[in-house]
Amino acid sequence: MKRTALILTLGLGVGAAGHVLWFNTHRPVAAGSLDTQLAWMQTDLGLEPDQFERIKALHERLEPRLLELAAEVDRLRAEFATFERERLEAGEVDFLKVARAAAERRTLGRECDASTTQLVAEATRVMTPEQRKRYLEILAPALEDAGHSRAF
C-alpha cells in the first residue's frame, strides 16, 4: 500500500511539475504596450524587418497624439455620462453645457478621424497587398464604426 501511495504521489507530482514548468516557460507576455502590439503585428502580418522599422517609427510618431485624443474622448464621455445621470436623477439638463460639449465632441471626432486616416494610410503604404488586406481586416471593427457614426 505504501508503494502504491508513493507511485501515485510521484505521478501526480511529476504531472503537476511538468504542467507548471511548461506553462510558465511558454506563457505569452501580457498585451498592452505599443512594443507588444507591434511585435504581434509583425508576426500576424508577416512584416519584413524594413517594413517593421518603418511601421514602428510611424506608430511611435503618432502614438502621443492618439493617446492624447483618447484621453480627451474619455473625458468627454465621462462628461456626457454626468449629463445623462443628472437628467435621470434631477430631471434637469444644462443645455448650454451640453451644446458646448457636443461641439467639442464634433471637433474631437474630426481630429480622431484625421489621425486614424493618417496612420492607416501611411501604414498600408508600406505593406504588400496581402498584408494590407489582413491589416484592414483587423481594423474592420473600427473602420465599420467610423463608417456609421463618429459620435461617442
Partner 1 sequence: MNHPPDPLDTALEALRTSTPAQPESVQHEVWRRIAHGAQADPSEAEAQPWWRRLEAAFARPAFAAAFVAACLLLGLFLAEMRLTRLQAERTAALEQSYLRLVDPLFRATDTPRAQQAVHRP
Q: Phi and psi (nearest 5°) for 7?
A: -70, -40
Q: Where do contacts with partner 1 occur on this chain (CB under 8 A)?
A: 1, 3-4, 7-8, 10-12, 14-20, 22-23, 26-28, 30-32, 34, 36-37, 40-41, 44, 59, 63, 66-67, 69-70, 72-73, 77, 80, 84, 87-89, 91, 109, 112, 115-116, 119-120, 138-139, 141-142, 145-146, 149-152
Cell of 40: 504581434
| Shortest distance in whole angstroms from residue 31 CB to partner 1 | 4
Is the Cβ of residue 13 or residue 100 nearer to partner 1 in the bound state?
A: 13
Contacts 24+ apart (CB under 8 A), 49-54: 51/126, 51/127, 51/131, 54/126
Is the Cβ of residue 77 or residue 100 nearer to partner 1 in the bound state?
A: 77
Is the Cβ of residue 66 or residue 102 nearer to partner 1 in the bound state?
A: 66
CA gap 18, 87 in Å, rounded = 58
Cell of 45: 502580418
| Shortest distance in whole angstroms from residue 143 CB to partner 1 | 8
| Shortest distance in whole angstroms from residue 68 CB to partner 1 | 9
Is the Cβ of residue 115 or residue 128 nearer to partner 1 in the bound state?
A: 115
Cell of 21: 514548468
CA gap 42, 123 in Å, rounded = 12
CA angle 16, 21, 24 (to 5 degrees): 120
